[in-house]
Structure 1
């Protein structure tokens, strides 16, 4: 019986069910009824014969010379390339591929270690075939990530896309927002040195500088920062009297900010700004202060009035002295007042013996004529 093997084929010869050889392209003659069988395989496809273990064929050196063998162990996967082009991901197992027409190469990686090393092409990690094996984690531009394998701290992840092997390790990433934040204290009641309870509305601004410290070393860091701000504010206000506090709003903010900046590195943060929004007084204290303010303003108004009166009197005195010393100036002043009178009154009758009155009658008589 004649069998023809074409160029893209190979014949696997069996006799009595046992492997006996590899038939190359060409014509071959088989004795009929001799329990001989030929399995023709397409060498563009993986080497596989149902019902037979691959190791049985690999004892043939001639056959092995035409096969690329890859044995993928447990906790490993292999990237299969054909003519340097990625084809498929191979799971645990032994595989054989024909090499006469195509070049087969492999990259074996151990996925028991979650880290993906640099020799792996990162562009391949996003393909659907790798989804069961590879986890994709995105860190936003304003974030940093703290990486844990099996609850063991590894490192800080910078913004970007990160890949890790799945399946044999628990992978956790805690994201930390690195943008500026605010802490507000609203209606915080604090006793001053003179035993007056006042309420504060206070705000401060900060940003995280050490994401690792915030996640690993500080529990509920926002609550701890809030308590720290409360204590510093109480420490300052408790040693000042009410009048001083009302005059020193800027000094309060400067003191609190400096104290926060000294403590900030212990919490992995940097404080940028602090300020007093409001100081709220008890009702009765507010009434007293309003009364004091009104009294102060009235006293100030009286002082100003007296000062103006004194200045006016002083000016009149100086004018009188000048007119006494200079008769011409005196006469000019008389004429000035006379002009003002004449502008407003049409006829004036005066009696008396002073020269001024006589001149005034004379001038009025001339004006009426």
Structure 2
């Protein structure tokens, strides 16, 4: 009580700052300094003392008197405050007690309470090094501080084309990459290097003999030169699709229906040669190209079925005539043998009688068998 009375009479005031606090004090509206932990006796005539207490749990120093402190009391500010500034092409990575605290964008300033640290600052020139160091990228990911980073993952079997501000900057193999994005636009276009298939279905083609067909075409390809494939055409898969259409239209349109059906393998080879040459120029390697299906319109299919049926019927007739001729020739030869050998004729009669006797209950022989038996006796005698 006595201390308070003495302080009041002497125009002063005692201020207690805890260990987890710091304070900025002003007297008669003028910034006088920063108070550390402990008890402080400050002038307070006419109640002109002002004390702004800050908790160190909020490590960033935000005050309307920050600039006045830095300019008028540089020694006091240097003892209690840590100032971090970034240039127009700089990123600041700030660590607090070994842990990632924050990342500052270019042209930024932040003031930190030194005693809330210890602090460690790493400045990165993003004008020279656009790619984020892989170790730092992983730390930023784990800490959830990747707002200033564009991250890309290139899958296995693919290649990534890195594009910065619309300009191709390089190729990326499979892996995870990060790039500082302030002041620049970063994109990665992934190109699949694995073998792929492409189907061109239901293409209508008019043959030389004016028959409308629908054909299905299949092709297998892979990207051999990703840079050329992306920069030569807008869409390399669409370019292959159109090349297949054009090549087969041109090849099949110069042939009749019969030629197409008879020379299907040759047609494939002729059309494929042109397609492969054109696609090689845009970085594609085309392996298999095949004319899978030739689909005829309904009325033409019926006509062809009739033609095939007539052809098969004619072939069957030829075979039947040939067999009849052979049978007739065989009968003629048998007749000649029997005419020259009466005993053979009699044996044939017996075979016929035996066959008939096995099928009936009673058999009557009108001419008798004496002549036959006499001939047999002569044969055995």
| TM-score when normalising by structure 1 | 0.72
User: What are the equivalent positions in structure 2 for 1:192-207 lying under 5 Å apart?
Assistant: 195-207=209-221
Question: What is the alpha-carbon distance in structure 2 between the residues aligned to residue 354 and residue 306 of structure 1?
Answer: 42
Question: Quick one: which of 348, 358, 361 aligns to 2:364?
Answer: 348
Question: Quick one: which of 157, 166, 170 aligns to 1:151?
Answer: 166
Is the 1:3–1:28 contact (alpha carbons within 8 Å) kept by the matching residues of 2? yes
Residue of structure 1 in register with 2:281 after alignment: 266
1:25 to 1:80, Cα distance in 2 relative to 1, 3 A: same
Residue of structure 2 in register with 1:181 after alignment: 198
- What stretches of structure 2 of length at least 5 have no aligned partner? 1-6, 8-13, 376-381
1:143 to 1:262, Cα distance in 2 relative to 1, 3 A: same
The secondary structure found in structure 2 opposite 1:86 is strand
Is the 2:85–2:109 contact (alpha carbons within 8 Å) kept by the matching residues of 1? yes
The answer on 1:88 being equivalent to 2:102 is yes
Question: What is the alpha-carbon distance in structure 2 between the residues aligned to residue 41 and residue 297 of structure 1?
Answer: 104
Stretch moving more, 73-82 or 138-147? 138-147
Is the 1:112–1:168 contact (alpha carbons within 8 Å) kept by the matching residues of 2? no
1:72 to 1:305, Cα distance in 2 relative to 1, 3 A: same
Residue of structure 1 in register with 2:3 after alignment: none
Aligned residues: 353
The secondary structure found in structure 2 opposite 1:336 is helix
| TM-score when normalising by structure 2 | 0.70
Shift of 1:81: 1.9
Query: CA deviation digits over 1:111-153, x for unaligned, max 9?
Result: 668933215333524766644x344556677876544322222
The secondary structure found in structure 2 opposite 1:153 is strand
Question: Quick one: which of 235, 239, 243 aligns to 1:228?
Answer: 243
Residue of structure 1 in register with 2:207 after alignment: 190
Shift of 1:83: 1.0
Question: What is the alpha-carbon distance in structure 2 between the residues aligned to residue 38 and residue 344 of structure 1?
Answer: 138
Shift of 1:105: 1.4
Question: Quick one: which of 241, 258, 280 aligns to 2:296?
Answer: 280
Question: Quick one: which of 217, 228, 236 aligns to 1:213?
Answer: 228
What value does the CA root-mean-square deviation take over the aligned residues?
A: 4.4
Shift of 1:201: 0.9
Residue of structure 2 in register with 1:64 after alignment: 78
